[in-house]
């Protein structure tokens, strides 16, 4: 059981980006532990088989659709934009040309009204946001990433930190590190990891009270042979007070398949009482009401309910509203955990908590708090 310089818990975007920044500094004595069998965390770009985009897959695989984070805004998020450019990823503007639809009551047909373009412009990645995950993963030293390891306990020893991780068969392994970066949501960390000694009460409370972005939400994607709504002068954007989809957008990939996606407006507890077949049936019926009969026959349907994902959501996340959470403190102000246990998931970002750009921001900030890396300019790593 050797000791690594840094253990990163969670291989979502923030964890992968933290590892990438270490690699840029020539630091390869780190360990990246991921509980899932895949990387990406709340970023999942699914194909027709709902398989996540693998690191070895081509980033221009157009037939993939984002079930988690999908958009970024270059004008507001230049650091993320520079990273996308540095990694050679292709981006495109969210399709918003044409009219939008608004469904106000179950008794009246949807209203067609002039659409509007987002300002600043919202962008997506070809191949889905999973292309960013795959590109970052390809930059890592082989063997540094270990999937299927769910960290259960983190212990502060006299000269190092020990992490106990459980695999899918219930077997435990122990890993040593000089410092730990937590790249999982703060609420998930306090709910699933035992810290020995206990975290300061104010820090533990702040992490526990921070809602996990995406945790109470669900997405539905319908894939079609053609974007028939565009032929009718519609943008694919819609709002509904009837549901079950509250907000709908065009999810088509340039050069790939046509698709619509929507956020489920039903609360997580209500969704949990519906079978998957019934939920899909209601979504198809709504799309037919709004976009015509052709919308009732998607070639493929994909549903991702993040509230049912135990590696994202806790029971406390089921009743959370749509607001992005305010960032809690990322580390203890004093005591044995100061500077050796640092939160770097998106929720810890002061500027973009909960957003894709927040994962980049929080990881960069967390890295600068590590002893010996305080002068590290994270932005320069991908100028």
Domains identified in the chain, total number:
2
The domain in which residue 245 lies consists of 94-125+216-311
User: What tokens appear for 71 in the block?
Assistant: 């958009």
Same domain? 227 vs 298: yes
Same domain? 60 vs 177: yes
Same domain? 63 vs 185: yes
Same domain? 188 vs 300: no
Same domain? 233 vs 375: no
Chosen domain end from 281, 311, 341: 311
Give mean pLDDT, residues 18-23: 96
Q: In this structure, is residue 98 part of a structural domain?
A: yes
* Confidence (pLDDT) at 317: 86
Q: Is 2 helix (H, G, I), strand (E, B) or coil?
A: coil
Same domain? 110 vs 242: yes
* Confidence (pLDDT) at 320: 60
Evaluated on CA atoms 330, 332, 337, 340, the torsion sign reads: positive
Same domain? 183 vs 77: yes
Can you tell me the distance from the alpha carbon of 381 to that of 79, in angstroms, rounded to the nearest whole number? 10
Give mean pLDDT, residues 236-258: 93
Q: In this structure, is residue 319 part of a structural domain?
A: no
Same domain? 9 vs 77: yes
Q: In this structure, is residue 316 part of a structural domain?
A: no
Nearest Cα neighbor of 181 from 14, 352, 358 is 14
Can you tell me the distance from the alpha carbon of 330 to that of 244, in angstroms, rounded to the nearest whole number? 37
pTM comes to: 0.91
CA dihedral 4, 52, 20, 327 (to 10 degrees): -90
Tally DSSP H helices, then E strands, for the chain.
9, 19
Q: In this structure, is residue 317 part of a structural domain?
A: no
Same domain? 67 vs 146: yes
Place of tokens 């495109």: 92
Give mean pLDDT, residues 176-199: 97
Q: In this structure, is residue 236 part of a structural domain?
A: yes
Residue-wise pLDDT tens digits, 122-153: 999 999 999 999 999 999 999 999 999 999 99
Q: Identify the band that residue 60 occupies on the pLDDT scale cut at 50, 70 and 90.
A: very low
Same domain? 19 vs 101: no
Can you tell me the distance from the alpha carbon of 267 to that of 282, in angstroms, rounded to the nearest whole number? 15
* Confidence (pLDDT) at 4: 77
Q: In this structure, is residue 299 part of a structural domain?
A: yes
Give the domain CATH number at 351. Answer: 3.50.50.60
Give mean pLDDT, residues 169-185: 96
Chosen domain end from 260, 285, 311: 311
Same domain? 66 vs 161: yes
Can you tell me the distance from the alpha carbon of 252 to that of 247, in angstroms, rounded to the nearest whole number? 16
Kindly report the number of other CB atoms within 10 A of residue 50's CB atom. Answer: 14
Q: Is 30 helix (H, G, I), strand (E, B) or coil?
A: strand
The percent of residues in the chain predicted with pLDDT above 90, rounded, is 80
Nearest Cα neighbor of 165 from 178, 179, 182, 146 is 146
**Mean pLDDT across the chain:** 90
Least confident range from 2-6, 34-38, 202-206, 210-214: namely: 2-6
Q: In this structure, is residue 320 part of a structural domain?
A: no
Q: Identify the band that residue 35 occupies on the pLDDT scale cut at 50, 70 and 90.
A: very high
Chosen domain end from 311, 335, 364: 311
Place of tokens 């991921």: 34
Residue-wise pLDDT tens digits, 97-128: 999 999 999 888 999 998 777 778 899 999 99
Q: Is 382 helix (H, G, I), strand (E, B) or coil?
A: helix
Q: In this structure, is residue 248 part of a structural domain?
A: yes
Same domain? 154 vs 278: no
* Confidence (pLDDT) at 323: 63
Beta bridge partners of 166: 150, 172
User: What tokens appear for 344 in the block?
Assistant: 């770097």
Give the domain CATH number at 110. Answer: 3.90.660.10
Evaluate the omega torsion of the peptide bond into residue 124 and state whether it is cis, within 30 degrees of 0: no
């Amino acid at each position: 059981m050797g000791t690594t310089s840094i253990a990163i818990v969670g291989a979502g975007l923030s964890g992968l980006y933290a590892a990438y920044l270490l690699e840029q500094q020539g630091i390869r004595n780190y360990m990246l532990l991921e509980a899932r069998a895949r990387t990406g965390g709340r970023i999942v770009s699914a194909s027709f088989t709902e398989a996540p985009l693998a690191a070895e897959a081509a980033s221009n695989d157009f037939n993939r659709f984002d079930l988690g984070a999908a958009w970024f805004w270059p004008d507001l998020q230049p650091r993320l934009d520079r990273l996308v450019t540095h990694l050679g990823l292709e981006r495109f503007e969210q399709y918003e040309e044409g009219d939008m639809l608004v469904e106000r009551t179950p008794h009246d047909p949807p209203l067609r009204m002039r659409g509007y373009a987002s300002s600043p412009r919202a962008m997506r990645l070809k191949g889905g946001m999973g292309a960013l995950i795959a590109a970052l993963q390809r930059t890592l030293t082989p063997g540094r990433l270990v999937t299927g390891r769910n960290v259960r306990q983190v212990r502060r020893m006299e000269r190092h930190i020990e992490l106990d991780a459980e695999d899918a068969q219930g077997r435990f392994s122990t890993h040593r590190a000089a410092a730990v970066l937590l790249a999982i949501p703060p609420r998930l960390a306090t709910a699933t990891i035992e810290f020995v000694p206990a975290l300061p009460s104010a820090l533990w409370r702040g992490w526990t009270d921070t809602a996990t972005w995406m945790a109470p939400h669900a997405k539905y994607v319908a894939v079609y042979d053609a974007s028939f709504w565009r032929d009718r002068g519609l943008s694919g954007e819609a709002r509904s007070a009837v549901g079950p989809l509250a907000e709908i957008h065009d999810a088509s990939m340039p050069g790939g398949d046509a698709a619509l996606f929507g956020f489920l407006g039903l609360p997580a507890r209500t969704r949990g009482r519906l079978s998957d077949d019934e939920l899909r049936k209601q979504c198809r019926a709504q799309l037919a009401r709004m976009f015509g009969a052709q919308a009732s026959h998607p070639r493929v349907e994909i549903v991702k309910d993040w509230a049912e994902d135990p590696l994202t959501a806790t029971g406390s996340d089921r009743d959370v509203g749509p607001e992005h959470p305010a960032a809690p403190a990322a580390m203890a102000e004093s005591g044995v955990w100061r500077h050796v246990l640092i939160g770097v998931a998106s929720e810890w970002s002061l500027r973009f908590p909960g957003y894709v750009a927040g994962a980049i921001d929080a990881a960069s900030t967390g890295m600068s708090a590590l002893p010996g890396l305080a002068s590290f300019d994270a932005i320069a790593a991908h100028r």
